[in-house]
Structure 1
């Protein structure tokens, strides 16, 4: 048997953190067992589904690297198949036409609630034998068994038993003939031979109903694993007010996709005390039985820490590929300056995000018009002007523009003027970067290049003259 999992988002919004984690766990399980991972777009909500949302989901999956083996499949392309199954269930006696009006249903609901009963359809049309042929509006309902129970052997939550009498006869076709969620999911899982349904625990109430429809169709039952919800720092379900935004917002905020995947896999799953996992390690170690039963809390500080680990320890060429986009967002062409790989090596220790790295590296690629005010006040004085003038002359005569040679020039000048390194390096740093913070000054100069270095020193000297 080929293990088959699926991720089945509704295109009514962006790909959010909860959906991304569901996709990741489904992807990991399929990869772990050499199976297939399917992407299915559940777009039967025609009023709310949009192509923009579809694009956002596909973009998010691509950025995260969660490649799918089959799909994307769109439910709106399978309406004929759903209608065929609805007719099959009607013919078998496992479904029936219901012509109860909205007013009748609402009256029943209100009465049940007044008696503190669970609101549910009362089965009025269940045995009437209505044929749906007299012009009245109707829906089609699944005839749920009234006796016995459904047992879910959940791979995360353990055994869950639901009495059939607790389940009402759910609608499987609306008055316009369109199929409902619980019907389309069942048909797709059956036709796509899904073996493992991994999804959020907000679907637990749907599972026994879907299992009963599968049984009526004589289809094998997949194994179910319901993932606990993700909470915000205040203990409430993660939402927009907690910053629960599109997965692509994390790209925009400067996170590496591997760092976000690593963080998501640890939201509800563990492997000993290990915190940092490569994608290959995630696949190797992942087991549904190790998914926590309780909810997880989203912690931005932990995600930032992880992102910093990945920036520092990933292949600089990989980080540079992602940094390039962020440099571009600043209106900078990264080809017009030092190699991004070398910039990553210089900046990775001090950057928690790629946005920070891009902003801190902009001076390598374009001149600045203003200096940091505090840095100028502290470092630009008459003595600094003399130091910079001397450095300019020595750098102008330097042919070996490598960090070792540049470092020696700075050391030699400091010794010649009997100054501490800070009295030389800091004015120089402010001169060439505009701020008092940068990578090591010799590395900074080597990346900046001789022409820009000399030009900026001259500009700083003029700035100092205007101040004194």
Structure 2
């Protein structure tokens, strides 16, 4: 295993969303490609918004996508004493200081700076105060940002990025209640966990110079950074709930396969020639962070649907059967309680289904004894000649040596030759009798999967309906 160490560090304030899942995926792929270590860290310092439900949802989403982790999960809330040690160290070394300015004073400073055409940043009132005795006054602790020079890094995606230090204010690293702030604890975690590469969303770009200065103040190695462009909706606005589902698990519930989601997410910004279809193993071999584009990815539900249809069409029917059972149970069907073999059923449906929901809906007729017939189909397919044709067909099917598709096709051809008809004069009636609809799998396939007894039962019921 190499010394490369990457991490995914979500905040447990909601579900694993599409953007977070893509960030996790990029980190995971690079760790796997470089034989490094992938660390999962839960950034739960926001105690009021962090929930166990969100933590569980993050775990569930990552496991569904197949993104396993080598170390963790680590929870920031377990490391408050460690953060305190580092804060005290910076204060002792004169690299951080206590700020006694009240909220009202800070607001007045901001308004004055804006009125004078400046930036509303802290003016450094307490920066050079001599050490104060503890008299009970509330204070925060600020990091002493250098006033001169610039903070620069070579971003693996954005290239060279630079911020003038004079543009940065003295960052609060400890609140008045003694809790550390996000930008500080992130650095401490990455230092103590020996993270070498940080891949995250480009909404963190403005945090990066502040964090780099803290690394340098601690004398710690600065990791390599890569800031991934955001994901936009079709209207080029940042992806949000108004564009549809943003939770990864919502897509599972909508009938999407994890491999389709992974394939789609990685292509939101990354490319490898003209290739569109990638297995997880393909991605591990071919992924490189340098091939992530600088422009934002646009979320296209139609493209995701196309990929999902591909993975259903080419998927292992046995695996699809296992995944389909919960969707069928939601519809009141349990294949274990009887009916045709579910794997055989899926083989007749997967060519046309785009989602697991469509697959489940398409499979229902196989397991329901009582079918309601499509009214328009009845008007077109059922007529005075239908009962005799269906009766003759059942006789021919019953006489077959084996009920496979080749023999079934032979029985139909024999019937058509004897009656002087074409398939269109009997096929639609058989389809309606077996499935209740005018759109179903192939007739020969359905008869083979249903078996002779169920086929006969359904055709006889259709004849009885016709007789009424």
Structure 1 and Structure 2 fold alike (TM over 0.5): yes
Q: Distance in 2 between matches of 1:291 and 1:325?
A: 37
Residue 464 of structure 2 is matched in structure 1 by 462
Residue 410 of structure 2 is matched in structure 1 by 408
Q: Deviations over 1:370-424 (max 9, x none)?
A: 1222212211222222222222333344462222222222222122211111221
Residue 445 of structure 1 is matched in structure 2 by 447
For structure 1, which segment, 24-33 or 322-331, has the greater mean C-alpha deviation from structure 2 after superposition? Answer: 322-331
Query: Residues 96 and 129 of structure 1 are in contact (CA less than 8 Å); yes or no, is this contact kept in structure 2?
Result: no
Residue 17 of structure 1 is matched in structure 2 by 18
What secondary structure sits across from 1:199 in the alignment? strand
Query: Residues 365 and 371 of structure 2 are in contact (CA less than 8 Å); yes or no, is this contact kept in structure 1?
Result: no
Out of 429, 432, 437, the position equivalent to 2:431 is 429
Q: Deviations over 1:170-225 (max 9, x none)?
A: 11111111111011101110011111000000000111111111111111110000
1:51 aligns with 2:52: yes
Residue 216 of structure 1 is matched in structure 2 by 217
Deviation, 1:312, is: 1.7
Q: Distance in 2 between matches of 1:426 and 1:451?
A: 20
Deviation, 1:5, is: 0.6
1:338 aligns with 2:340: yes
Deviation, 1:449, is: 2.1
Out of 356, 375, 378, the position equivalent to 1:376 is 378
Deviation, 1:461, is: 1.1
Residue 239 of structure 1 is matched in structure 2 by 240
Residue 140 of structure 1 is matched in structure 2 by 141
Q: Distance in 2 between matches of 1:112 and 1:337?
A: 76
Q: Distance in 2 between matches of 1:151 and 1:225?
A: 13
1:306 aligns with 2:307: yes
Q: Deviations over 1:75-126 (max 9, x none)?
A: 1111111111111111111111111111111111122223332221111111
What secondary structure sits across from 2:141 in the alignment? strand
Q: Distance in 2 between matches of 1:114 and 1:382?
A: 90
Question: TM-score scaled by structure 2?
Answer: 0.96
Deviation, 1:434, is: 0.7
Q: Describe how 1:31-46 pairs up with structure 2 within 5 A.
A: 31-46=32-47
1:443 and 1:140, CA in 2 relative to 1: closer, same or farther beyond 3 A? same
User: Structure 2 unaligned runs (5+)?
Assistant: none
Q: Distance in 2 between matches of 1:368 and 1:77?
A: 58
Q: Distance in 1 between matches of 2:375 and 2:141?
A: 72
Q: Distance in 1 between matches of 2:17 and 2:219?
A: 35
1:454 and 1:132, CA in 2 relative to 1: closer, same or farther beyond 3 A? farther
Q: Distance in 2 between matches of 1:342 and 1:71?
A: 41
Query: Residues 371 and 435 of structure 2 are in contact (CA less than 8 Å); yes or no, is this contact kept in structure 1?
Result: no
Query: Residues 245 and 251 of structure 2 are in contact (CA less than 8 Å); yes or no, is this contact kept in structure 1?
Result: no
Residue 66 of structure 2 is matched in structure 1 by 65
Residue 353 of structure 1 is matched in structure 2 by 355
Q: Distance in 1 between matches of 2:335 and 2:443?
A: 21
How many residues were matched structurally?
466
Q: Deviations over 1:288-325 (max 9, x none)?
A: 11110011111111111111111122333333332233
Residue 82 of structure 1 is matched in structure 2 by 83
Residue 103 of structure 1 is matched in structure 2 by 104
